[in-house]
Amino acid sequence: MNTILIIFILYCIGICTIGIYFSKSIQTKSDFLLGGKKIPGWVLAFSERATGESAWLLLGYTGFVFMTGLSGIWVAIGISIGIIFSWVFLAKRFMKETEKYDVLTLSDYLAVRFGQKANVIRWLASLLIVGLMIFYIGAQMAGAGKILFATFNLPIIVGVVLSCAVIIFTSFSGGFISVVWTDMIQSLMMIVTLVGLPIVAFTHIVANDISVTDSLLRAGDSFDAWFGGLSGFAIGVLFFNNFSWFFGFLGGQPQLSARFMALKNEKEANQGTIVATVWTILAYVGAFSIGIAGIALYNQGSFSDVETMMPTMVLELMPPWIAGIILAGVLAAINSTANSQIMVITSSITEDIVHKTLKLRLTEKQLILLSRISIIIIALVGMVIALVSDSLVYLVVSWAWAGIGCTLSPAILMTFFWKRYSSIGVIATIISGFVSTVLWISTPLESIITSRFTTFFIAAFFGIVFSLVFPDKNRIDKDADTEVVV
């Protein structure tokens, strides 16, 4: 246990050192919020993947597969297709749009593209992001508390506070550049964990003559069925509930889209696409395998919280020094996502609200200082949420994914590919997506079909209808350098 503790400490020191090093390159607001187009594409790809896959993948998803069996694979398939789709079809478009419209955030991009209602769009998009993503951050810190509880039997409150301290330090020191480079290191640690642990686990299973097939049968009636033992309409519900994560990857997650916006050129984008695709396949095959291995190694009901299954497996199967590296990889996933989400909220507050909407005249240094103050406040609020919430990591992330990603994804897709999309349509998309998510998760409907699916299509429907009923008179489309009359 002392070995694991030492590795944890070295990890925290290393991440903080990287933050200090890259803080020296911060000169402008653009550097602090979006990296100033200085970061290689392959690094942005590692960062995007570390940001997209947080405590929910290593703790939440592995626990979900442990509870459901083979049918849990549809979550991995939906997410993998969504990630690859976004890199292949959206990344370059984000890069070009960022340059043409000279924007730093997703909210500002929508506002600039639909200038007739720019301030309303900025306010709505920013409030949506800030209001829901703060719970996302709390979920990451709660995940850190679970890791340290499972590893050292520390009170969860201690783990949450320590995680908060590391997150504040790395985000505060170097902003976006620091976060991306620390993400790159953390992404490598994550992939080592997700590839290495299932290899060790299945080696142990084979050596002890444990039958995975028999274990699936003993776990429950539907654990050995790819569609959960369902038929007919129920299969469709299962498929859409699990596959529905796909819809949040279509441009609407600002912490992920920021990596696309930071790309320098097409060559860098192509490099990033290759890296992200390979990483995704390895990571999700590994995470699914960990959940299945857990079914073979542990009985259902062995854990009061199934999201501690993965760290328990690490401690039981790995030598202490390797366990320390792997568990540091889990903590890396948590911190990298929380860092990126804090930067998104900070950008929304300082760039979208203070600078663009309220039009306060601040210098570059003052805006950077305001950003750093925002980081501290946001992290502390997230920490409080983590300490007072009993929600599971998987569920909290799922709801935030619907409210933000599945609301803004249709807005981004229609902005990119439908010229008749209007400013009123954007507003209708955001409002309907948020309201439908809140109403859906507050009723038994969520247990029937997930809000991750319904939010996307409800938001898209209202966006289309209101765009057709309330078209913009004239809008300048910088893509074609023409005036669009609708």
Say what the alpha-carbon torsion angle 373, 146, 218, 447 is, to the nearest 10 degrees.
-40
User: What CA–CA distance (Å, rounded) separates 324 from 326?
Assistant: 6
pLDDT band of residue 464 (cuts 50, 70, 90) is very high
DSSP assignment of 202-235, as one string?
Answer: HHHHHHTT--HHHHHHHH-TTTT-TTTT--THHH
Q: Which residue, chain included where needed, has tokens 């229609």?
A: 414
Strand partners of residue 416: none
Q: Contacts from 3-6 at CB under 8 Å and sequence distance 24+?
A: 3/320, 3/321, 3/324, 4/151, 4/152, 4/320, 4/321, 4/323, 4/324, 4/327, 5/152, 5/324, 6/324
pLDDT at 393: 53
Q: What is the mean pLDDT of residues 343-352?
A: 82
pLDDT at 474: 63
pLDDT at 482: 45
Q: What is the mean pLDDT of residues 88-106?
A: 90
Q: What is the mean pLDDT of residues 270-286?
A: 94
Neighbours of 38 (CB within 10 A): 14
Average pLDDT, whole number, for the chain? Answer: 82
pLDDT beyond 50 at 484 = no
With a CB cutoff of 8 Å and minimum separation 6, the contacts of 305 are 63, 146, 392
Contact of 459 with 433, CB cutoff 8 Å: yes
pLDDT at 288: 95
* Percent over 90 (pLDDT), the chain: 27
Count CA atoms within 13 Å of residue 62 on its CB side: 29
For residue 28, what are its two tokens? 């402008």
Q: Highest mean pLDDT: which of 41-55, 275-289, 293-307?
A: 275-289
With a CB cutoff of 8 Å and minimum separation 6, the contacts of 456 are 244, 247, 248, 406, 407, 409, 410, 433
pLDDT tens digits, 309-321:
888 898 888 887 7
Phi and psi for 482 in degrees, rounded to 5? -135, 165
| R_g of the chain, CA atoms, integer Å | 22
pLDDT band of residue 17 (cuts 50, 70, 90) is confident
For residue 345, what are its two tokens? 């909220």
With a CB cutoff of 8 Å and minimum separation 6, the contacts of 461 are 432
pLDDT beyond 90 at 115 = no
pLDDT beyond 60 at 481 = no
Domains recognised in the chain with CATH numbers: 2-392 (1.20.1730.10)
DSSP, collapsed to helix, strand or coil, labels residue 30 as helix
Q: Contacts from 237-241 at CB under 8 Å and sequence distance 24+?
A: 237/448, 237/449, 238/71, 238/74, 239/74, 240/449, 240/450, 240/453, 241/449, 241/450, 241/452, 241/453
User: What CA–CA distance (Å, rounded) separates 405 from 51?
Assistant: 14
The residue among 255 and 431 whose pLDDT is bigger is 431
Among 32, 52, 62, 133, CA closest to 326:
62
For residue 56, what are its two tokens? 């929910």
Strand partners of residue 128: none
User: What CA–CA distance (Å, rounded) separates 468 from 466?
Assistant: 5
**Beta strands, E only, 263-370:** none
pLDDT at 282: 95
User: What CA–CA distance (Å, rounded) separates 383 from 157?
Assistant: 9
pLDDT beyond 50 at 303 = yes
pLDDT tens digits, 55-66:
678 878 898 899
| 485: Cα separation from own chain's centroid | 37
The residue among 296 and 397 whose pLDDT is bigger is 296
Phi and psi for 471 in degrees, rounded to 5? -75, 155
Between strands 482-485 and 474-477, the pairing is antiparallel
DSSP assignment of 132-200, as one string?
Answer: HHHHHHHHHHHHHHHHHHHHH---HHHHHHHHHHHHHHHHHHHHHHHHHHHHHHHHHHHHHHHHHHHHH
Q: What is the mean pLDDT of residues 11-33?
A: 67
